[in-house]
Amino acid sequence: MSVKFWGGLGILLTAVMACEGHGIAARPVEDGIGIQAVYDDGYPVAFGDVKVFAPDRADKPALEGLTDRNGCFMFRPDTNGTWRVTVDDGMGHAVSHELYFDGGKSAAMQSKEPVSKRHGVMTGLSLIFGLFGWIAYLRGQRAERRRE
């Protein structure tokens, strides 16, 4: 009996220890960084393919995944430096973004504020007509010189 008892107990303990050995635990982690991919009309790139390139390995992605339904993707770098994140919606749209990570303090490299749409349109139209007007002026002058 005692052989059966101790044998059974041994097997049980071994099984419990084995289970503990393969168990996983989860704990919250802070200081992650991430991006949100959006189309130019503000709609999120939901479930787009994401590749993350570490600072020291630009040729092979360190991490791959998908954006969530809001176009967000978060990760926690293990190396300081500039991390590159590419998002591809599989339909011809893709974007590459660089994030700088420095021991828990991260800042987007491309943090400059884009021009507001109204100002951008006005500036763009002015530059287009100005540029082509200038081209027309130069060509007109050249044509006049040839006539002379």
Question: In the complex, which residues of this chain contact another protein (CB under 8 A)?
Answer: 39-41, 43, 84, 86, 88-96, 110, 114-115, 117, 120-121, 123-125, 127-129, 131-133, 135-136, 139-140, 143
CB of 48 to another protein, least distance (A): 11
CB of 126 to another protein, least distance (A): 10
CB of 139 to another protein, least distance (A): 5
User: CA 33 to CA 77: how far, in whole Å?
Assistant: 8
Q: Which is nearer to another protein, 7 or 124 (CB)?
A: 124
DSSP string for the chain? -HHHHHHHHHHHHHHHHHHHHH----------EEEE-B-TTS-B-TT-EEEEE-TT-SSS-SEEEE--TTSEEEE--SS-EEEEEEEE-SSS-EEEEEEEEETTEEEES--PPPPPHHHHHHHHHHHHHHHHHHHHHHHHHHHHHHH-
CB of 75 to another protein, least distance (A): 17
Q: Which is nearer to another protein, 20 or 64 (CB)?
A: 64
Task: Name the β-bridge partners of 65.
Answer: 50
Q: Which is nearer to another protein, 6 or 137 (CB)?
A: 137
Q: Which is nearer to another protein, 15 or 121 (CB)?
A: 121
